[in-house]
Chains A and B, each alone.
Chain A
Amino acid sequence: MFEKVLLRSLDVPESQDLSAYEAAGGFKSLASVLANHSPDELIELVKASGLRGRGGAGFPTGLKWSFVPKDTEKPVYLCCNADEAEPGTFKDRALMENDPHMVIEGILIAAYAIGAATSYFYIRGEYGVSTERVEAALAQAYAKGLLGQNILGSEFSHDIYVHRGAGAYICGEETALLESIEGRRAQPKLKPPFPAVAGIYGCPTVINNVETLSCLPHIVERGTDWFRSIGPESSPGPKLFCVSGQVKKPGLYELPMGISMRELLEDHAGGPLSDNFKAVIPGGVSAPMIPGSDIDVGMDFDSLAGAGSMLGSAGVIALDDTACVVRVAARIMEFFNHESCGKCTPCREGNDWAAKVLRRLEAGSGQREDLDQLAFLCAGIFGNSFCALGDAAAWSLGAALKHFRYEFEQHIDDGECPFH
């Protein structure tokens, strides 16, 4: 059985408490970093570990850090992205609820590497328990001198502020998140300049996901070779998979990156509720669905990209053969339509239009030309939207149409949903 690292304390009572975290060896990595590593050495260490961001895009973490200008006179900021709003995703929440000190230690290690004296912990508004536990953990850490001035007697000082979201999915997009922290309307901003150069208040800012940061204490503690020994060469490390949908044992699984989707769903999650998987969405609803016949694919960034989808947030949503793909596609589009920030034309107008068409198709009142409209909308949105939200909406709809066109046609021809 794969050793749980990130979820090691899932069954430990009061694991959110500092004493429990310390009992498990917590904050030793921080102490060792402060004592033994220069920030540059730390960046090199993380580069060498091969750690890639767990927020969705899989960007190499050490490389991202190295973009922060070295000679800047401006303050440098770190943001911990805990907005986790991708449907089907609940891994960051588990980390914050069960092991908030692990996230805090990760933040401190990252902050030390990039030279940040301040970080913002941006927590999804609906995450009440997470927020309480993170705030309690921060108070404990301050009381113990793990935060604030001269941490553990070193030269390094750091403050963490919690900022709660107000319910918009787009706030998870890094530039919109920065706008939100600044108190502005949360909409993505033009890049370049990239946040690492000009982020919060125009100052260099690194944004990392909760899970990404949580890997850091372990990389420091056990070394890069250990980390690289898990999973494929190009995207190593332990990984949290959020399995939901029509499986027998939905839940959160920590497994090696690159595990095959079949193994994840059949061996760990107990297989489909009905006889077969019809389709699997591997990385939250932004990720295009893969037909049930194609689930012999590695659950890592590159393998899933090769299969025409993405690992995304590793929110694995399984559909068995009783599921109605039209209904699923319609629900997903309702989500994107609701969450479109409204900035750019294709996403704002296109998602609304597509949602109207899908509603109609689901109800059985669609026509053949509606499928042309959807094809037109996918082409009009994909690649043309300002940020990845629009792209995701079109991409996921495109996959449903590509793999399950006959289900859409069936709805049109029958004048009703064949499944419900």
Chain B
Amino acid sequence: MVHVTIDGIELDVSEGTLILEAAQSQNIAVPTFCYQKRLAPLASCRMCLVSVENMPKLQPACATPVTDGMVVHTASEQVALTRQSMLELLLANHPLDCPVCDKGGECELQDMVFEYGAGASRFRDQKRVFRSRDLSLNQVIIFNANRCIQCQRCVRICEDVVGAVALGTIDKGMDSEVTGFENSLDDCDHCGNCIEVCPVGALMSQPYRYKARPWDLVETETTCPFCGTGCQLTIGARDGELARVRSKYETGINGETLCVKGRFGIDYIDSEQRIETPLVRRNGALEPASWNDAFDAMRGHIGDQSDIDGRRIGGLASAQLSNETLYLFQKMLRTVFHTNNIDSSNRWTGGIYDELPGLIGGLYSRQSLEEVISADVVLVVGSNVTDDNPVTDYLLRSKIRQQKNHLFLASVRPSRLDADASACVRLLPGDEAVLISTITNRIFDSRAGTHQSGVESLAEFSRQCAEAVKAATTVTVLVGMDFLRTPNAKLALPWLDGLIRRLQGSGKAAALQFLFDRCNQLGAWEMGVLPNHLPGWQKNGERLFEQAWDVQLSSDPGADIHEMLRRCAAGAMDCLYILGSDPMSAYPDRIQVENALSSADLLIVQASHHSATTKLADIVLPGAAFGEEAGTVMNNEGRIQSIRAFRPPIADTRRNIDILTQITEIFGGNFCGYSLGNLKPEHVFSEITQLVPSFAELSPANVAEEGALSRRAGYRDIPQSSALPLPSSVERTGQSNGKLTLVTGDCGFHSGYASEHSATLSGIRAEAYVEVRQSDCQAMGFAQGDLVKIRSPHGETTLSIRTNKQFPPGLAFVPENFASQHLNRLFKQGEFSCLVEILPNEL
């Protein structure tokens, strides 16, 4: 601790505290431009200069750590004059075109001049003008260099946090200009973080251009609907219309950052693909109908409660819906349709649900990501974090660079984070089991070296990782989507479980989190949207729920999506109720899913947007989209956060919770006495808090502020079997006969199937592509951009080819985000990677 005096206030602060931070802790405002909490100090704008006794010059408060006995004055006349001078200097060449500047009203330069500036400027020469028209740098960024104050916040956030290094500064002195390579940012991430941190109207958002003045906007704080990172964002609406999305300084897990999806993709809710009225299939065609017609049609098909055979009915929901909606969905299925046939994803291969309760219920670290990634060693397995969870990628990068802790990265595809990793290795999907077992054995025992990895890089990576783990006191494992998608997941999960337990047993603080690419996968499971568990991972048939819900629950073990589809195809299902999900596009094996969905007697789809699945439906119920319905979601940290409505459901759409409640009522159930019209999401939330231990004692008010971490509570501890079979690495033989291993996942510009509806995101990237190693591409005789045919034993599709020098040999990646690509034709059921040939398109 050091003792300092600032403006007469004495305080003790920890060593290394900046004068600025110490002042802020006493509510002493020190004006800044170039300072930004998450960026390394630059100390270039000189706005924060303060006087320090016994120092000849004024010192930058943003970069000067306090020392013991330091006496600081922030309010002296010299300091005030200096601030005035800096502002007068900055304004000398500033165009002062505030009336036509999008930033006007929320511009830091305006605010500063108002607060600290002189009333008039003495400058009477010609102002510097870079160009008289704004420069479009890419589809989302437009730039006015004349307004730039050279704080370099944009350049630094792009390099240090986003890691893109797309922005730089050219020329020097007064000619210094921030720009992209050859005045373009067409190849950058389009994340817009540079726009967000720009204090003035230099870097501006194109989609928001001239749409509103800040004071015309009604702002709504909410949680991003895309990935599981759970970023906080602020929707600005003008007259009820979405005008823009912003992130706020030091708010939420994301601070001031967002990725392109969150910042520019929310306009998917305004897509022409929105379903505006209920649709009912009549004489083979889907036709608009009233809600009553739709409900009547449902009743007509299903009959009364007494007619329902729970084994012949099932539901699939999207993990992007709120806890409240998901809770009501499974409750409806369980209480009025008497079924446990419930699932929440198309993508997990079977069998993982037996392993999850111990892991997620018991071991999962419900803890801030910031904390878990501060561990001495962070091991990321099976995720392309940069594409799947971009803001998690930013946080990891910043952390590793600042704290210099170890990052070990094991993934199928290369990513930008590789550059900051202590070691990285390329896996094939399914290798995760052998990786985790090898690392475990290397850390803990004798069997080290006896494993059958066979893949040298993997063995070396495991050795290095194990060495680092042995030397560490805190270890974190982050597990991504590729891990859960491969059929080997059920082999890998027990090893993961074992690794974490044994690390904890050996006295290390070991943390585990998943990196879900859907915003509420964790919540969906907590809400019981899976076949064999009730909400809160409680075993089917639990008395608690029978009492609370006042029904006899089915004791059937329930079917997952694979089993439901099998049963549909076999004619063993009467009704499939799909909520917000698009298995036709997402489920591996399109032929099979198409078969299954067409074979169900009744296919009900409740969704906000048209999809290949709604086309097959018998009844389509149009639900509210993101931003039209409040609720909560649980991010990858296990944090429960609010989503809020900024407008009512459009056209004839309804809130999802209203639709589900009404159907529950129609079939004779009720919801705790609340009925349509007076049901609020908070009512559902409070029932959840009573039944789901991880939500116990939370109130909507707890959640509303900063979100609330759920708790690790009351789960069964699954005993760990000590002798797990040693897995072996995935066969690599297919590759030798000219085939490539095809994997899929999110690309940087899209998330799942919702983002494709965003005009902005589709403007940036509208089409799928196949990405391969550059030398593979050459060896196959193709050049970047060529149209090629990709053929698997099950199907084929045509795409343009892209090369990547970092790709491992024999790997092909196609983003899964483009529904019309029918990529799932290439996979057979239960397959995550598959072997493909890449052929000339003409063939």
User: CB within 8 Å of B: which residues of A?
Assistant: 168, 170, 185, 190, 337-346, 348-353, 356-357, 360, 369, 372-373, 376, 379-380, 383-386
Contact = CB atoms under 8 A, between A and B. Distances in A.
Interface string B26-51: 00000000000000011111110100
A190 B123 CA distance: 30
B173 A340 contact: yes
Contacts of B149: 345
Nearest to B43: A190
A385 B173 contact: no
B115 interface: no
Nearest to A356: B125
Interface string B736-753: 000000000000000000
B44 A344 contact: yes
Contact of B122 (A348, A376, A385): A376
A190 B174 CA distance: 21
B128 interface: yes
A386 B92 contact: no
Contact of A348 (B43, B56, B82, B174): B174
A379 B88 CA distance: 13
A343 B122 contact: no
A380 B89 contact: yes
A116 B149 CA distance: 40
B155 to A, nearest CB: 9
Contacts of A376: 85, 88, 122
B57 interface: yes
B58 interface: yes
Contact of B173 (A190, A348, A357): A348
Given A185-B168, A380-B85, A345 B46 contact: yes
Contact of A344 (B41, B45, B58): B45
Interface string B108-145: 00000000000000110110100000000000000000
A385 B46 CA distance: 7
Q: How large is the interface on B (under 10, 10 to 19, 20 to 34, 35 or more residues)?
A: 35 or more
A346 B173 contact: no
B698 to A, nearest CB: 44
A360 to B, nearest CB: 8
B86 interface: yes
B169 interface: yes
Contacts of B42: 190, 343
Interface in B63-111: 63, 82, 85-86, 88-90, 92-93
B82 A380 contact: yes
Contacts of B41: 190
Given A353-B92, A373-B123, 10 more contacts: A170-B172, A342-B171, A345-B90, A348-B174, A349-B174, A356-B126, A376-B85, A383-B58, A384-B49, A384-B58
Nearest to A169: B172
Given A373-B122, A379-B85, A386 B176 contact: no
B309 to A, nearest CB: 70
Nearest to B84: A380
Nearest to B40: A190
A349 B172 contact: no
6 contacts: A342-B169, A345-B89, A349-B89, A373-B123, A379-B85, A386-B44
Interface string B139-173: 00000000001100000000000000000110111
Given A353-B125, A384-B82, A337 B174 contact: yes
Contacts of B176: 342, 348
A185 B179 CA distance: 14
B10 interface: no
Contact of A185 (B88, B128, B169): B169
A358 to B, nearest CB: 11
Contacts of A356: 125-126
B92 A349 contact: yes
Contacts of B49: 384
B89 A168 contact: no
Contact of A349 (B57, B63, B93, B171): B93
A386 B46 contact: yes
Contact of A342 (B93, B122, B168, B173): B173
Interface string B167-201: 01101111110000000000000000000000000
A369 B174 CA distance: 24
A352 B173 contact: yes
A346 B174 contact: no
B174 A352 contact: yes
Nearest to A360: B125
B89 A353 contact: yes
9 tightest Cβ-Cβ pairs between the two chains A and B: A342-B176, A380-B85, A349-B89, A340-B173, A356-B125, A352-B174, A342-B173, A383-B57, A343-B44
A168 B176 CA distance: 13
A348 B174 CA distance: 6
A340 B123 CA distance: 20
Contact of B88 (A340, A357, A380, A383): A380
Nearest to B87: A345
Nearest to A357: B125
Contacts of B58: 383-384
Nearest to B151: A345
A261 B121 CA distance: 42
Contact of A350 (B44, B89, B175): B89
Nearest to B86: A345
A345 B171 CA distance: 16
Contacts of B82: 380, 384
A339 B46 contact: no
A397 to B, nearest CB: 15
Nearest to A379: B85
Contacts of A344: 44-46
Nearest to A188: B44
Contact of B47 (A345, A348, A372): A345
Most buried by A among B46, B89, B125: B89
A170 B173 CA distance: 11
Nearest to B174: A352
Contacts of B171: 342
Contacts of B43: 190, 386
Contacts of B168: 185
A380 B86 contact: yes
Contacts of A337: 173-174
A314 to B, nearest CB: 25
A185 B172 CA distance: 10
A353 B44 contact: no
A341 B93 CA distance: 17
Contact of A384 (B46, B88, B123, B174): B46
Interface in B271-286: none
A349 B149 CA distance: 10
A340 B90 contact: no
Most buried by B among A346, A348, A350: A348
Nearest to A384: B46
A346 B125 CA distance: 17
Given A190-B41, A384-B49, A346 B85 contact: yes
B46 A342 contact: no
A338 B85 contact: no
B90 to A, nearest CB: 6
A346 B172 contact: no
A353 B126 CA distance: 10
Contacts of A353: 89, 92, 123, 125
Given A337-B174, A343-B44, A345-B86, A352 B128 contact: yes
Nearest to B82: A384
A369 B168 CA distance: 38
Nearest to B177: A342
B202 to A, nearest CB: 15
A87 to B, nearest CB: 16
A414 to B, nearest CB: 21
Contact of A341 (B46, B88, B172): B172
A369 B123 CA distance: 11
A369 B124 CA distance: 11
Contacts of B123: 353, 373
A346 B92 contact: no
